[in-house]
Structure 1
Amino acid sequence: MNTRQKPGIFIFGKIGQNMEQQEQAAKIKEKAFELGFLDCGISKADFLSEEKSRLERWLNQELHGEMAYMARNVEMRLDPRLIFEGAKSVISVLLNYYPTEKQLADDAPVLSKYAYGKDYHFVLKDKLNELLKFIQNEIEPCNGRPFVDSAPVLDKAWAAKAGLGWVGKHTNLISVEHGSFFFIGELIVDLELPADNKTVRDHCGTCTRCIDACPTQAIVAPQVVDAQRCISYQTIELKGELDQSLQGKFEDRVFGCDICQDVCPWNLKSEPHREPDFEPHPKLMALTRNEWMEMDKPLFNELFRKSAVKRTKFEGLKRNLEFIDSASNSD
């Protein structure tokens, strides 16, 4: 006896399954927007073949500096199934951090916009955990894990694969609708969801504003950054002495750098965030240059108790302040 399903029944079942998955994906995205995310996209959890050669070339050229962790677990970075067993889908999200206000003193040391408020690792991870609970309770029981710069996951690659934007010449993800001042996070789940099979084409064209504006010439080629020349790397990642050859080129950046994003035409679309946790400490935006330079540890702890700036610690921030101050005094 032929026990195969009749073709019609098989096709109907598959269509029904696909429709259900599409509805699940739509509900997940709806919840993501409800949680305050700018955008949400879904990819199939598989090997990032297109990223392999790019990542290996960057590492082989030793453009990662002292970030030795970038050279570890390369296969994991390229395949989420090696990080999370049973992974089937990668849900990528964007969270706006474009500030509602700016530092008041024109000559004050400049803090990267992403560090104004509460450390984004906690804010974004909390929201991703809420999204995971929603999926488990309202969509389908499953296992999942949120990722926010805490494991070898290529955030920008997954976001681009999910159709949330393209990687610009400065290596940041750019969204047609929102610019680039946002955090990227992932929720990897063992639930099969329909992938957003769309690719946002590169809209940078012949524009080189980010490359031209970088004061340390860290963008050595389109989509290639020499971390050792990057102000963000120098002021955050580097643990020892700052590169003296870059003296006078920081443009008063003291923690991170937004220059390549500030000059990007796509960021004319950036709108202030609505996330209370990203609001700065009341004293922070009014600090004068002298107050920055004379900062002691109690004030540092008060201003940055829950901030990403704690990553560099008080000693690291003082090192950065002294570096830009000595440069201005020698002019």
Structure 2
Amino acid sequence: MTTVFDWDQLARDIKRWGRELGFQQVGITDTDLAQQERALQAWLAKGYQGDMQWMGEHGNKRTRPSDLIPGTLRVISARMDYLPGDTQLIKILKSPTKAYFSRYALGRDYHKLIRKRLATLGQKIEAALPDELKPQGEQQMRAFTDSAPVAEKPLAAKAGLGWTGKHTLILNDKAGSWFFLGELYSYLPLPIDVSQQPNRCGDCTACLKVCPTDAFPEPYTLDARRCISYLTIEHKGAIAEEFREPMGNRVFGCDDCQAICPWNKYAQATVETDFLPRHGLDNPDLLALFEWDETTFLKNTEGSAIRRIGFERWQRNLAIGLGNAPTQPDIIAALTRALGQVSPMVDEHIHWALQQQANPTRRRRRKIKQPIS
């Protein structure tokens, strides 16, 4: 006997359960990413991934969900706001003795929180199924958030969560772009959301023009090798000198292309307390952070996405920030004390920073403009 089941009602329940679990929006899409697969291959062929070799690994699993999790028919895509209510973003970027951290990294690491919520959503879904439709054999629901070869942004756009902006991030006409994405791979034949948000970037190129390192060779294309987020987080070696002054005081990531985007006037403050700033990292002094030892770094970044860069890259990034700060005896003294006490790679950046501190006529670094309102 064929089981009659109301899939439309289940889809509505999934979105309601998602909201109850703290997601601002949930959408459902199929797994056809053929167009995005061609675009990814073209991007990789140009070497824009830099050292992120994992972007080209795993065959086609990134754009073929059923290759990653066999039996996947649908992807449930969800977004969760992360921006704290008062981030003083522009104020910190314009304060050269302060350290700037991407706003997503101010609180606890989002990976576990979002995966746990999505896993709970999967459990709710399976609990609602009649016995005949419950998972059999290898069938399973799997939750992801920036943690596996998953094409998060294309899937989010297909699921109706927004459109891909010229800065390559997902934009939502009611929420901007300050949100995390997560996915639940499903074997269930759920009805898909066919209504997608149209691209509303228009003629605006603010995000492209504001980039301190000119990381966008063309709209909708990011050359990660020039991106400050990549340089401060993913890149493990020395940072090329051409990028050091434009980095300014950005120690972990960069938000300039989001901060300037007019759609972010609709961004909503997060209601997740775990995403609120910790250890004063929303307004810290570069020099104070540079004087942390490794034990202090590990203690104060416990449970934070910042810890993933490790102490060496932490020191490297802070040395660049201090080199870009106004000339101060305390900064020169701290940099000098650290020479020879750090790795050769960090030493190189400290030498550069000392040269910058000794050159009062160095050119002014490019600063972010005021956001459009």
TM-score, normalised with respect to structure 2: 0.81
> Superposition pairs for residues 179-258 of structure 1, below 5 Å?
179-258=176-255
51, 57, 63: which is aligned to 1:66?
51
- 2: distance between equivalents of 1:283 and 1:299? 14
Q: Is the partner of 2:315 in helix, strand or coil?
A: helix
Could you give the per-residue CA deviations for residues 21-44 of structure 1, whole angstroms, max 9, x where no partner exists?
110000000000001101100012
Instruction: Give the Cα–Cα distance (whole angstroms) in 1 for the partners of residues 243 and 304 of structure 2.
Output: 26
Deviation at 1:303, TM superposition (A): 2.1
Structure 1 residue 24 corresponds to structure 2 residue 18: no
* 119-128 vs 130-139, greater mean Cα deviation: 130-139
Shift of 1:201: 1.0
SS at match of 1:202: coil
Q: Which moved more, 1:287-296 or 1:65-74?
A: 287-296
After TM superposition, the runs of 4+ consecutive aligned structure 1 residues lying more than 3 A away are: 103-107
Alignment-mate amino acid for residue 155 of structure 2 = W
Q: After superposition, where does 1:304-319 map in structure 2 within 5 Å?
A: 304-319=301-316
Task: Encode CA deviations 1:52-95: one digit per residue, 9 max, x unaligned.
Answer: 22111111111110111111124111110001111111000001
Match of 1:6?
none
Q: What are the residue-to-residue correspondences of 1:22-171 with 2, within 5 Å?
A: 22-45=8-31, 47-102=32-87, 106-107=95-96, 108-139=98-129, 141-142=134-135, 143-171=140-168
Q: 1:199 to 1:90 in 2, by over 3 A?
A: same
Secondary structure of 2:84's counterpart equals: coil
Moved more, 73-82 or 252-261: 73-82
Contact residue 43 and residue 89 of structure 1 kept, 8 A: yes
| Distance apart, 1:272 and its partner CA | 1.0
Deviation, 1:292, is 2.2
- Equivalents in 1 of 2:37, 2:65: separation in Å? 13
**Any conservation in 1 of the 2:23–2:78 contact (CA below 8 Å)?**
yes
CA distance, structure 2, for counterparts of residue 101 and residue 199 of structure 1? 31
Asked if 2 retains the 8 angstrom alpha-carbon contact of 1:170 and 1:210, the reply is: yes
Q: CA deviation at 1:274?
A: 0.6
1:260 to 257, 262, 270: 257
Secondary structure at 1:75's aligned position in 2?
Answer: coil
Query: What whole-Å deviation, never above 9, does each CA across 1:196-245 have from its counterpart, x for those lacking one?
Result: 01221110000000000001000111110100000000000001111212
Cα distance between partner residues in 1 of 2:34 and 2:248: 38
> What is the alpha-carbon distance in structure 2 between the residues aligned to residue 293 and residue 133 of structure 1?
45
TM-superposition CA deviations, 1:274-299 (whole Å, max 9, x none)? 10111222433342232123222233
Q: Which runs of 5+ in 2 are unaligned?
A: 328-355, 357-361, 363-373
Which letter does structure 2 place at the counterpart of 1:218? A
Letter in 1 for 2:273: P
Assess if the C-alpha contact under 8 Å between 2:251 and 2:318 holds in 1. Answer: yes
CA distance in 1 between partners of 2:253 and 2:283 (Å): 19
Aligned residues: 315
Deviation of residue 190 (structure 1)?
Answer: 0.8
8 A contact 2:249–2:324 mirrored in 1: no
- State the match for 2:317 in structure 1: 320
Deviation by residue 1:304-327 (Cα, 9 ceiling, x = unmatched): 100000110121111111122223
Kept in 1, the 8 Å contact 2:101–2:282? The answer is no
For 1:210, what is the secondary structure of its paired residue?
helix
Q: Using the aligned pairs only, state the percent identity.
A: 37
Q: Between 262-271 and 93-102, report the one with greater CA deviation.
A: 93-102
C-alpha RMSD of matched pairs (Å)? 1.7
In the TM superposition, what is the alpha-carbon distance from 1:246 to its structure 2 partner?
A: 0.9
Deviations 1:250-280 (A, max 9, x none): 1311101100000000001112101011122
Q: Is the 8 A contact 1:234 1:243 kept in 2?
A: no
